[in-house]
Amino acid sequence: MGRPFLPGSPGHLLYNLALGAGLVVGAPVWIPWVLLSRKRRTNLPERLGLRGVPPPTSADGRPTVWVHAVSVGETLAAVPLLRLLRRRISDVRQIITSVTLTGRETAVKSLSGVTDEGFYFPFDLPGLCGRFLDRLRPDVVVIVETEIWPNFIAACARRGVPVVIVNGRLSQRSFAGYMRFRWFFAPILRTLRTISAQTVEDAERFIELGAPRENVTVGGNLKFDVSPPEIAASPLSGLLLREKAAGALWVVAGSTHDGEEADLLRAFLAAREANPSLRLLLAPRHPERFDAVEALVRREGVSMVRRTSIPEGAQRLPEPVLLLDTVGELSGAYAAADLAFVGGSLVPKGGHNVLEPSWHGVPTIVGPHMENFREIADAFLAGNALLRVAGKEELEDRLARFAADPSVFRETGRRAKDLLETFRGASEANADAVLSALSGREAER
């Protein structure tokens, strides 16, 4: 079977030699890359252990589970798992780490009262990873999806801390990349206690990459277990619903990327010629693009309003285009939508999660690029619960058909909502993998 990935092993030494050389040689590139970004500057001190490193965990007998979820999607997927672990072990200490600013913000918002501590994940430097582990003293480390940090995993192995991957996935592209360095990654995978993969296909890829078959299970996709979002009444949702009651048809385009808004806008304007009641809400994925999207809409000569410019207490919204330039209100917008478009899919960004509009029974359109949510997209397409377009021409056709007869699309939304109820259970399977590693750790003591 071969040796696991441990401190001092050939692979570990080679990795750190390459890492050190890369940091020195690449300094003229990575230092400005960090310093010129507000997001990266924000989490840099914490990731280096200079600020916000948690105090040593007290030895009070409580089991400690450290969950690492790199960004927003992984954090949201971890929510039902963490809630279930809390129910099954009432005194569990749960810690969550992120890499991105948006991931950290999502953790704070979604896991209040569920986790005990949260901070940024340390850089994969040998002494630094060990310092975090020695202060937190986790009984098990849980990595959501596929975040392979060699020094961190080696530091866990040295301390006998079991590492579990939950919701594990390997896209065809990632798998091909890892396979070129199978000699390096196979020992790392042999070091992991358990890999709970999303699908049989993912499981077989992990095994082919070098994970022992007996350590790999199929636990399903945690993202299917995300509970329906609670939509609190807000000025925006109330405004959208009033417009809807007055006859407006809302097309909500969420998590859009550069290159998508222009195609959406043109398709919308063409469809609106046939049905003037059509309205468009644009919600760019990245806040730094709000101004650029506003400029795009105004260049087309279209009347629009930004969410932050709507007067408090406004009762009507005469503009045909609304730019959602806030964070945290997209779910409420989906709830009021008649048709949704989920971005990152018309351009090659891998797509975003279609579950939120589906929970509201909203018919949803995506483009051809859904690699990051392959299993979800395939399941919904197979169930005729998702509308997929090949490009901007087909998008124009779909919006034109929607404008002509919205009722034809409603059945797609209903099927999506019904389908979601049949995909439950991943939280239980993944929680079992974590608890098995936790009980094994206790038995070893």
Tens of pLDDT, residue by residue over 393-403, are 999 999 999 99
Find out whether 7 and 127 touch, Cβ atoms under 8 Å: no
Please state, rounded to an integer, the average pLDDT across all residues of the chain: 89
Q: Write out the two tokens for 32.
A: 């400005």
Is position 208 annotated as part of the catalytic site? no
Residues spanned by the domain of 369: 235-421
Which of 47-51, 84-88, 193-197, 351-355 is the least confident region? 47-51
**Looking at per-residue confidence, does 307 or 38 come out higher?**
307
- What CATH number has the domain bearing residue 75? 3.40.50.11720
193 and 258, same domain (yes or no): no
Which phi and psi (to 5°) does residue 159 adopt? -95, 0
Q: Is residue 227 part of a domain?
A: no
Tens of pLDDT, residues 322-340? 999 998 899 889 999 999 9
Helix (H, G, I), strand (E, B) or coil at 163: strand
> How many separate domains does the chain show?
2
Residue with tokens 């795009």: 296
Can you tell me the mean pLDDT for 83-112?
Answer: 88
Find out whether 309 and 330 touch, Cβ atoms under 8 Å: no
176 and 284, same domain (yes or no): no
404 and 429, same domain (yes or no): no
C-alpha–C-alpha distance, residues 385 and 383, integer Å: 5
**Claim: this prediction has a pTM higher than 0.85:** no
Whether the per-residue pLDDT at 43 is higher than 90: the answer is: no
Tens of pLDDT, residues 132-189? 999 899 999 999 998 899 999 999 999 999 999 999 999 888 999 999 999 999 999 9
Whether the per-residue pLDDT at 286 is higher than 90: the answer is: yes
Beta strands in 157-248 (DSSP E): 163-168, 194-197, 216-218
Can you tell me the mean pLDDT for 37-66?
Answer: 76
Find out whether 178 and 206 touch, Cβ atoms under 8 Å: no
- What CATH number has the domain bearing residue 327? 3.40.50.2000
417 and 432, same domain (yes or no): no
Q: Is residue 23 part of a domain?
A: no
Can you give the pLDDT at residue 124? Answer: 92
Find out whether 169 and 197 touch, Cβ atoms under 8 Å: yes
Out of 46, 74, 371, 421, the active site residue is 74
Give the DSSP per-residue string, 80-94: HHHHHHHHHSTT-EE
Q: Write out the two tokens for 387.
A: 């509308």
Q: Where does the pLDDT of residue 11 fall: very low under 50, low under 70, confident under 90, or very high at 90 and above?
A: confident
Q: What is the dihedral of CA 378, 380, 383, 384, to 10 degrees?
A: -110
Tell me the percentage of the chain whose pLDDT exceeds 70: 94
Helices 101-110 + 38-47 axis angle, to 10: 70
Whether the per-residue pLDDT at 375 is higher than 80: the answer is: no
| Residue 264: closest CA among 127, 396, 403, 129 | 396
Angle at 145 between CA 144 and CA 150, to 5 degrees: 85
Q: Where does the pLDDT of residue 227 fall: very low under 50, low under 70, confident under 90, or very high at 90 and above?
A: low
C-alpha–C-alpha distance, residues 166 and 144, integer Å: 5
Whether the per-residue pLDDT at 210 is higher than 80: the answer is: yes
Tens of pLDDT, residues 239-256? 999 999 999 999 999 999
Which phi and psi (to 5°) does residue 57 adopt? -70, 130
DSSP character at residue 363 = -
411 and 371, same domain (yes or no): yes
201 and 261, same domain (yes or no): no
Find out whether 59 and 65 touch, Cβ atoms under 8 Å: no
* Bridge partner list, 306: 323
Helix (H, G, I), strand (E, B) or coil at 289: helix
Can you tell me the mean pLDDT for 429-437?
Answer: 94
Beta strand 93-98 with 117-120 is parallel
Q: Is residue 4 part of a domain?
A: no
249 and 346, same domain (yes or no): yes
Whether the per-residue pLDDT at 308 is higher than 90: the answer is: yes
Query: Of how many residues is the chain composed?
Result: 445
